[in-house]
Structure 1
Amino acid sequence: MTTLAAQPLLDAIRTYADDELLAQTQVPESGRDFHLVHRDDEVEVWLIAWAPGTSTGFHDHGSAAAAFTVLEGSLIEHNWFGGLQIADIGPGDARVHAPGHVHDVRNVGSLPAISLHAYTPHLDAMHSYRFLGDRISLIGAEPGRS
């Protein structure tokens, strides 16, 4: 992803990361909770609260570019770039991905995590994949969150 394409996403997560209301987010006992923080014509921002042990599964974000940062706790990102790459993401770390990027984000720790995600254009679809060790396989598609 070019720096110019990434900048609006990084600006969006930086703008909302310091919102005091986000710090009051309740984390579910299991699974993940999603909260729409902002939506305009160019970008949408979502807060995700992660219980320990939760995972997105391998997915992409349709035609949307994405960026996210961790506000509390830590997450592990498994990225598919024709081979598996793993990244630890802690508070303040930011990740940016081009449309079609496939990853699985996980809270493997024993503590909750909170992250902030931005998408442009809007998150209109997500595709799910199965990780097969040496490749991924498309297993489904669903509309984005609204």
Structure 2
Amino acid sequence: MTALATQPLLDAIRTYAEDDLLARVQVPETGREFHLLHRDDEVEIWLIAWSPGASTGFHDHGTATTAFTVLTGSLVEHNWLGGLQIADVGPGDARAHDAGHVHDVRNVGSRPAISLHAYAPRLDAMHHYRFLGDRIDLIGAEPGRP
């Protein structure tokens, strides 16, 4: 990960995290709920509410560099870096990745979680993968959120 590429996104999510975001969110009973907070030609900022058990599945963010932080609750990030690496992400923790990074983010806890995500350039695609223990296989792609 290049600090030069990810630092502006980390700064952006820290700025947005200072806002009163939790009043804008209602956690769904299952899965995740997305709230677009900001979009311009260079960056998107999303607030995501996670019910217990919610997971993204293994995916990347196309050409976008990404960063996220947890506001409440906790998430577990499964990173594919030629091998599986697992990171616990709690309130105030921030993670950032260069374009093409493959991961699966999960709420494995019994309580809801809320996180804040930034993408630059704007999220143009997501590629989905199947985790096979010693490798990942591309299984599909979708365009970025409108």
Q: Same fold (TM over 0.5)?
A: yes
Deviation at 1:53, TM superposition (A): 0.4
Structure-2-length-normalised TM-score: 0.97
Query: What corresponds to 2:41 in structure 1?
Result: 41
Task: Report which stretch shifted further, 38-47 or 121-130.
Answer: 38-47
Query: What corresponds to 2:22 in structure 1?
Result: 23
Query: What corresponds to 1:141 in structure 2?
Result: 141
Q: 1:120-139: CA deviations, max 9, x gaps? A: 00000000000000000000
Task: Report which stretch shifted further, 51-60 or 3-12.
Answer: 3-12
SS of residue paired to 2:88: strand
Matches of 1:23 and 1:120 in 2, distance apart?
23
SS of residue paired to 2:10: helix
Structure-1-length-normalised TM-score: 0.97
Q: 1:79-126: CA deviations, max 9, x gaps? A: 000000000000000000000000000000000000000000000000
The alignment of Structure 1 onto Structure 2 pairs a total of residues equal to 145
Flag structure 1 segments of 5+ consecutive residues without an equivalent.
none
Cα RMSD between the aligned structures?
0.7
Deviation at 1:4, TM superposition (A): 1.6
Q: Which amino acid aligns with 1:16?
A: Y
2:88 is aligned with 1:88 = yes
Task: Report which stretch shifted further, 1-10 or 52-61.
Answer: 1-10
Matches of 2:29 and 2:45 in 1, distance apart?
23
Matches of 1:34 and 1:62 in 2, distance apart?
18
Flag structure 2 segments of 5+ consecutive residues without an equivalent.
none
Please list every run of at least 4 consecutive aligned residues from structure 1 whose deviation after the TM superposition is greater than 4 angstroms.
none
Deviation at 1:40, TM superposition (A): 1.5
Matches of 1:43 and 1:15 in 2, distance apart?
14
Matches of 2:94 and 2:51 in 1, distance apart?
20
Query: What corresponds to 1:99 in structure 2?
Result: 99
2:39 is aligned with 1:4 = no
Query: What corresponds to 2:63 in structure 1?
Result: 63
SS of residue paired to 2:59: coil
Q: Which amino acid aligns with 1:86?
A: I
Deviation at 1:12, TM superposition (A): 1.0
Task: Report which stretch shifted further, 120-129 or 35-44.
Answer: 35-44
Q: Which amino acid aligns with 2:70?
A: V
